[in-house]
Amino acid sequence: MQLTYYGHACFAVDIDGARLLFDPFISPNPLAAGIDVEAIAADYVLVSHGHGDHVADVAAITKRTGATLLSNYEIVQWFAGQGVTKGHGMNFGGSVRLPFGRVKFVTAVHSSTLPDGTPGGNPGGFVVTGGGKTFYYAGDTALTYDMKLIAEACAVDVAVLPIGDTFTMDAADAARAAEFVGTKTVVGVHYDTFPPIAIDHDAARAAFAARGITLLLPAIGETVAL
Ligand code: NI
Ligand code: MN
């Protein structure tokens, strides 16, 4: 399993030849100006919730690549209205089995209005199992005891967690979230993109290190093996 970071909360995970792209927000992000959005491959596009900083490039990428959209039912329906024809609409607690493994849609504590004001259902996260590993992407969320349910059900190898504060958990709460889900490795996302979510990287790493957890902060465009 390897992860490539594209800035903000957008990243791709490669599992046994399948490429999963999460929350594409690249073309509006000045920090990701070095990424060629037209060159990003995807077999599946997974969207945690309807906010613009998670869906900006969904329609263009799914149409160009033919990728299947995985999100809550309301968001999949909204994109169907824009010509995104391949989608699995999900809801909390449900999973889909795919050739590379299994994707489960789990709770997040946040909001989910789509860019045109359409209600975007409930915000969520994903637990993905494939290639002998399990990872958890929390989406935008507060710390919540629901995360403990994930650890009760399976061993989480890696968690991708928001750490930018203001709209989501800060690093201290995200470190507690990592303990809740039982992982020792976290990739931090949803920080530095806008002034309200600018963070001190060393302080963030220290918040995790205090709990014996490694925080990875890949550079935009960097790929890390997990
Ligand atoms: Ni959001
Ligand atoms: Mn967001």
Q: Is 148 exposed, middle or buried (0-12, 13-18, 19+ CB in 10 A)?
A: middle
- Compute, in angstroms, the gap from residue 124 CA to the centroid of ligand 1: 10
Question: Which ligand has an atom closest to residue 9 CA?
Answer: 2
Q: Quick check: is 226 in a domain?
A: no
Q: Quick check: is 83 in a domain?
A: yes
- Compute, in angstroms, the gap from residue 20 CA to the centroid of ligand 2: 19
- Compute, in angstroms, the gap from residue 164 CA to the centroid of ligand 2: 10
Q: What would the pLDDT profile of 182-193 be if each residue is shown by its tens digit?
A: 999 999 999 999
Q: Is 212 exposed, middle or buried (0-12, 13-18, 19+ CB in 10 A)?
A: exposed
- Total number of domains in the chain: 1
User: What percent of the chain has pLDDT above 70?
Assistant: 100
- Compute, in angstroms, the gap from residue 103 CA to the centroid of ligand 1: 20
Global pTM value: 0.98
Compute the distance between CA of residue 104 and CA of residue 99 in angstroms, rounded to an integer. 14
Compute the distance between CA of residue 72 and CA of residue 120 in angstroms, rounded to an integer. 8
Q: Quick check: is 225 in a domain?
A: no
- What's residue 96's pLDDT? 98
- Compute, in angstroms, the gap from residue 190 CA to the centroid of ligand 2: 7
Q: Quick check: is 76 in a domain?
A: yes
- Compute, in angstroms, the gap from residue 5 CA to the centroid of ligand 2: 15
Compute the distance between CA of residue 143 and CA of residue 120 in angstroms, rounded to an integer. 21
Q: What is the mean pLDDT of residues 23-38?
A: 98
Q: Quick check: is 209 in a domain?
A: yes
- What's residue 222's pLDDT? 98
Query: Residue 139's domain spans which residues?
Result: 2-219
Question: Which ligand has an atom closest to residue 110 CA?
Answer: 1
Q: Quick check: is 44 in a domain?
A: yes
Q: 24: domain CATH number?
A: 3.60.15.10
Compute the distance between CA of residue 106 and CA of residue 30 in angstroms, rounded to an integer. 30
Token digits of residue 208: 């995790």
Q: Quick check: is 61 in a domain?
A: yes
